Chains A and B, each alone.
Chain A
């Protein structure tokens, strides 16, 4: 039984890391700009499609027709040769194999530009508008983004293979000195967990230990006073929006081997990440991380047959049930601050 519980806990950590990472950007934007950004899921989706686009470029092929051989429907058979591998040789093959992590290189500048463009172009006009209007406009943006992706890439999921060296499962039990082949877990999920950990840690460190971060935190606490000190806080907040977009984007990139992305993937995560942010406390970074892990672990355990035998269907409602209970007991969420969204 220990191994079953341990594996389920590991799965909860893995899920929780993903939830926390996705919710981090959402709460970052709310904490700095005060905007409830319902386009955050779309940013996750756009990041995932940066990986798709990058791989499609790397796997471009030349097509020649072989009139000697015919397909079952009588057309000359297509002979396909990879183009990029022909250019770069072995390095091209390695690049194709590692296309998912490599695509982070193009995702960062793309998402930074998307984020800054979005904030300057549309969202800044809604700072002083009611939250309901912010939700409407950002939700509308999300729908536009997903329809654009659908028209370019189609409605079907596009599988993104993980690097061949990182496929399969790691024997964690043997690593911890226990029996071999009992506690095994997919290598890529462990990588995603570590990746989330590094990114979350990096964002915290950036806000905690840099001058830029200190100014941003000061702006979050009292925007007007920071402005009166002659600091252009708006520009810093714009950069924070870009940073949130980058975090969402690279979270999307690294998730593609686990779940083939389609145009709807962002919407699937949006509701979940919003619940994570609310449970954690609007605008609270530690809250988002704690709530992400809490909900991930609870969801994982709720999916166990022993638990479902006691409470049928609990796996479907656990997240919302916990959210209701926490908000009843702690109306501001786990780490919510007084005055946030209480005006």
Chain B
């Protein structure tokens, strides 16, 4: 009775209760501020942070993979403050300081994806689970990119895609954890169709040979839509297996099909082989429908052009980037890469290098490696100085929107690297599109999955 009278008044109870609530509930939050930073996949706790490079070092796109590897090694050097700094000096805006990322030195591990989606996925899993990769990047095939970005979404690791050109990568298969700097098949079609219809006329009949996987399908569809809208007719579209080697059985039906243009939706070694064999079949010396027979390669790279030799002369295509551009970013990167490796970089090398820098910059701007925050920093990021003019990392589909190059095989090369001429730099406004047309769902960034 006495006690109740003395102290345990209503006021006292409220005071004690509030103190208890504050003491046990709120105060710990002060000590655990930023505790989410501990709760994500491969949070780097030491003084290094590891990139997982998933590269096709063998298989149909091996040459691109080897060039990507060189670019990543150069990017890591520049991020760690070694060398001449490369594109760090010209990227605007940038938070990069050349002292690693958030004070941690950048290291990397590599896996050979063999240009196969299942091997790429297994390699990425190994690099995340065993090697502690904070970010996975690389790839030269859209099948690989789509497989790996799906995995990265499941494991909560950011995927910065290398060379992937299928509309599906940032279309129906887009993922919140996946980002693409490279352009896509739709943009190739939109950029290339006006140039080839102007060069070859609007009354043309096209025959497509198409690599039978996601990239080939969307490349074929994009080229058909873009050329048919300008008056061309599609005679036939034939799918060929990836890495077929000998395309002769697919080329013989082209000869008397009524087509006067052959569109090769092939890339890498497949493109080198199919183009070389098409030339052996005399297609460039042929007349059809009263016109000179023409060959078009919608997606070109200088590595392929070198492989195809003289066969590439005069042939139109598109590229994401070319070392011969004259902006400050391109000059800086070509100088850095050339000094390191004695040859100019390919578009595969360029996109790989840029992706590594953009991820590092996003971490610096976010102030953390926590993937949802890094994703927020990348989404809608507008930057310049990386060689493609002003570029937007579109938030809706994680597709970079920037200028597209229409290129043509050089008739009079002055060196073994001088294989492509830039015919036109298509402004990014012309190749931008509504992200809704390719559907897909990015999915959530949070809660960040734990690997």
Contacts and interface: CB of A to CB of B under 8 A. Distances in A.
Do A and B pair up? The answer is: yes
Contacts of A150: 58
B70 to A, nearest CB: 13
A258 B246 contact: yes
A189 B248 contact: yes
Nearest to B243: A268
Interface stretch (A70-78, A133-141, A222-230, A241-249): A70-78
A75 B339 contact: yes
B255 A184 contact: yes
Interface in A221-260: 258-260
B287 interface: yes
A184 B282 contact: yes
Contacts of B324: 72
B260 to A, nearest CB: 13
Given A181-B286, A189-B280, A155 B57 contact: yes
Nearest to B245: A259
A75 B342 contact: yes
B281 A186 contact: yes
A305 B238 contact: yes
A304 B246 contact: no
A332 interface: no
B280 A167 contact: yes
A99 interface: no
Interface residues of B, number: 43
Nearest to B287: A181
Interface string B143-181: 000000000000000000000000000000000000000
A98 to B, nearest CB: 17
Nearest to B288: A181
B413 interface: no
A300 interface: yes
A150 B255 CA distance: 37
A74 B279 CA distance: 36
Contacts of A308: 238
A262 B338 CA distance: 26
Given A182-B256, A305-B238, A305-B253, A73 B335 contact: yes
A81 interface: no
Q: Is the interface of B mostly helix, strand, loop or mixed?
A: helix
Residue among B57, B252, B282, B344 with most chain A CB within 10 A: B252
Interface string B335-349: 111110010100000
Given A73-B334, A188-B280, A8 B58 contact: no
Interface string A1-31: 0011001101110110000000000000000
B273 A259 contact: yes
B249 A15 contact: yes
Nearest to A255: B246
Contacts of A85: none
Contacts of A316: 241
Contact of B281 (A15, A161, A185, A268): A185
A185 B383 CA distance: 52
Contact of A71 (B245, B252, B308, B338): B338
Interface string B50-62: 0000000110001
A18 to B, nearest CB: 8
A109 interface: no
Given A73-B337, A74-B335, A157-B272, A11 B249 contact: yes
A159 interface: yes
A3 B256 contact: yes
B309 interface: yes
Contacts of B276: 159, 260
A62 interface: no
A74 B290 CA distance: 48
B339 A73 contact: yes
A336 B419 CA distance: 53
Interface string A39-50: 000000000000
B253 A4 contact: yes
Residue among A73, A184, A186, A315 with most chain B CB within 10 A: A73
Interface string A158-179: 0101100001110000000000
Contacts of A75: 338-339, 342
Nearest to B338: A73
A169 B344 contact: no
A268 B245 contact: yes
Given A73-B338, A305-B238, 18 more contacts: A4-B252, A14-B248, A71-B338, A72-B334, A72-B335, A73-B336, A73-B337, A74-B339, A150-B58, A159-B272, A169-B285, A181-B287, A186-B280, A186-B281, A260-B272, A260-B276, A300-B249, A303-B249
Interface of A: 3-4, 7-8, 10-12, 14-15, 71-75, 150, 154-157, 159, 161-162, 167-169, 181-182, 184-186, 188-189, 258-260, 262, 264-265, 268, 299-300, 303-305, 308, 315-316
Interface of B: 57-58, 62-63, 66, 236, 238, 241, 245-246, 248-250, 252-253, 255-256, 269, 272-273, 276-277, 279-282, 285-287, 307-309, 323-324, 331, 334-339, 342, 344
12 contacts: A7-B252, A12-B249, A15-B246, A72-B323, A150-B58, A169-B280, A184-B282, A185-B281, A186-B277, A188-B280, A259-B273, A315-B249
